[in-house]
């Protein structure tokens, strides 16, 4: 689905590299083929990351359709810029920064944040978690700055390590740990307020 949208209307290179695109091919090979205009190779990259991209975007834009639109736009832009990509580096940190900027632009244009429909995603593993706690959690997340919301999403919703977050954001490990500490502190205070503990 997303891979088809991401590749619509993109011109093929005159000399199209023929590559058997399979899930088992190394990412670096797929990216080299995509840089030469191979849509099939890029489609395989999209398939690998489309769910992750969608759920990260959902955490930022708080709406399913908007998250789908933003994540698809990010794949389109990445394909347009793929020739500038260094295939010696991993794809996702580069792609993530591009998508993050699109999310920021989207939120600036929208100028308001909506609560994510909690019944559509599993915030916590237990099916019968207290709804008031979930609502308080999302209200608290929506109060965070974009940067604080980002680090909470990457750490707790995508389960990335500190090192992975540092790589994606291009920040020192200590900065990531410090940012997460302050984001958690602010979120804890907001949740307590919504639950009537303050």
pLDDT band at 24 (very low <50, low <70, confident <90, very high): low
User: CB of 149 within 8 A of CB of 107?
Assistant: no
pTM: 0.62
| CA 41 from centroid of its chain's CA atoms | 21
CA distance 126 to 115: 20
Q: How confident is the model at residue 196 (pLDDT cuts 50, 70, 90)?
A: low
41 neighbors 33 (Cβ within 8 angstroms): yes
Specify the range with the lowest mean pLDDT, choosing from 36-45, 116-125, 159-168: 116-125
- What is the rounded CA–CA span in Å between residue 100 and residue 55? 12
What pLDDT digit, counting tens, does each position of 140-191 carry?
Answer: 888 888 888 888 888 888 888 888 898 888 889 888 898 988 888 888 888 7
Please provide residue 85's backbone torsions phi and psi, each rounded to the nearest 5 degrees: -75, 135
Calpha distance 54→71 (Å, rounded) = 6
Domains and CATH numbers, the chain: 1-114 (1.10.1740.10), 126-198 (1.10.10.10)
Q: In the structure encoding, which two tokens stand for residue 107, read together?
A: 């939120």
Confidence band of 130 (pLDDT split at 50, 70, 90): low
In 3D space, the residue among 71, 51, 50 whose CA is nearest the CA of residue 60 turns out to be: 71
Taking residue 62's Cβ as centre, other Cβ atoms within 10 Å add up to: 21
């Amino acid at each position: 689905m997303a891979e088809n949208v991401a590749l619509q209307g993109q011109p093929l290179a005159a000399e199209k590299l023929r590559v058997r695109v399979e899930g088992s091919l190394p990412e670096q090979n797929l990216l080299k083929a995509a840089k030469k205009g191979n849509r099939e190779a890029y489609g395989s990259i999209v398939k690998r990351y489309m769910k992750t991209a969608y759920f990260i975007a959902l955490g930022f834009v708080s709406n399913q359709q908007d998250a789908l639109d933003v994540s698809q736009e990010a794949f389109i832009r990445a394909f347009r810029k793929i020739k500038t990509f260094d295939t010696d580096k991993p794809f996702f940190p580069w792609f993530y920064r591009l998508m993050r900027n699109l999310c920021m632009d989207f939120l600036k244009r929208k100028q308001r944040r909506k609560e994510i429909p909690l019944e559509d995603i599993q915030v916590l593993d237990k099916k019968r978690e207290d709804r008031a706690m979930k609502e308080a959690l999302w209200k608290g997340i929506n109060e965070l700055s974009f940067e604080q919301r980002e680090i909470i999403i990457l750490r707790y919703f995508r389960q990335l390590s500190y090192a992975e977050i540092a790589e994606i954001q291009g920040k020192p490990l200590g900065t990531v740990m410090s940012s997460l500490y302050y984001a958690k502190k602010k979120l804890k205070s907001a949740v307590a307020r919504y639950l009537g503990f303050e």
